[in-house]
Amino acid sequence: MSDVTVAAELKTEPKLVTNQLPAAEIMGESPLHHADLESVAKHGPQEGGVHFHERKLMGLLTLRCMPSAEQQEVIKSLLGVALPMQPLTSVTADDSPIGKVSVRWVSPDEWLIIMVGEKAFELETSFFEKLMGHYSLVNISGGTTIFNVSGRHVVDMLKKSTPVDLHASEFPVGKVVSTVFAKSGAMICRVAEDQFELVVRRSFADYLWLWIQDASREYGLVVHH
């Protein structure tokens, strides 16, 4: 099937969006639910060189398209910020229509949009209402989680886990890369001088949590809830 046929079909048929969040009485559980990070945060070390916090149950949408100028305008109005077109860059908007949103470049035709979990369905719905043409938007919230790691030894810990050059001259704040991480994969974004966010697969979350504990042992690991 050619792209032309797909575009023609999209014009007439509205896309069906399903809210992936369960009913309010069902408790959402992050992939690290079993690790009971709340207790670890309370009873574990309060000082150390690496700090760990799971940004659990966030909303993550994968946008794929080769956006036309017109589409870029619509996307900008939906996100409150323009798509980062430069490779390996990211942008953040605090006051977008769906609250705080972070948009990260993944590949020349792919972006990751991160917001609070409750807002993902709303953003999906408005995308399919307002953005016309050929594109794909998929809710991947359930398949991923986000680790926030920080502290004065965070780069030392990450260096054991990924071959990417994390020196500030090569990896400034705002840069984002998809790469290998501890024989698994992660999307690494530097959100502050000594603070990174790792977007990891749900099925690898426990393994990577164990890995990070091990890699942080010599610096001391502080868990936050």
Partner 1 sequence: MFHIYCPHCCEYREEEEFHVAGQAHIARPLDPDACTDKEWGEFMYFRANPRGIHHELWVHGAGCRKYFNVTRDTQTYEIKEVYKVGEKPSVVADDVK
Among 85, 168, 180, 192, binds partner 1 (CB under 8 A): 180
Question: What's CA 180's distance to the chain center, in Å?
Answer: 16
Q: Is-contact 60 114, C-beta < 8 A?
A: yes
Q: Which of 111, 178, 199, 208 binds partner 1 (CB under 8 A)?
A: 178
Query: Side chain identity at 195, as an amino acid letter?
Result: Q
Name the CA radius of gyration of the chain, rounded: 19
**Position 206, amino acid:** D
- Candidates 2, 18, 107, 169: give the one binding partner 1 (CB under 8 A): 107
Whole-number minimum distance, CB 180 to partner 1, in Å?
5
Relative orientation angle of helices 120-130 and 69-79, to the nearest 10 degrees: 150
Among 84, 99, 142, 185, binds partner 1 (CB under 8 A): 185
Question: Minimal distance in Å, beta carbon 177 to partner 1?
Answer: 7
Interface with partner 1 (CB under 8 A), residue total: 13
Stretch that binds partner 1, among 7-15, 21-29, 36-44, 173-181 (CB under 8 A): 173-181
Does the protein bind partner 1 through residue 106 (CB under 8 A)? yes
Contact 58, 115 (CB under 8 A): yes
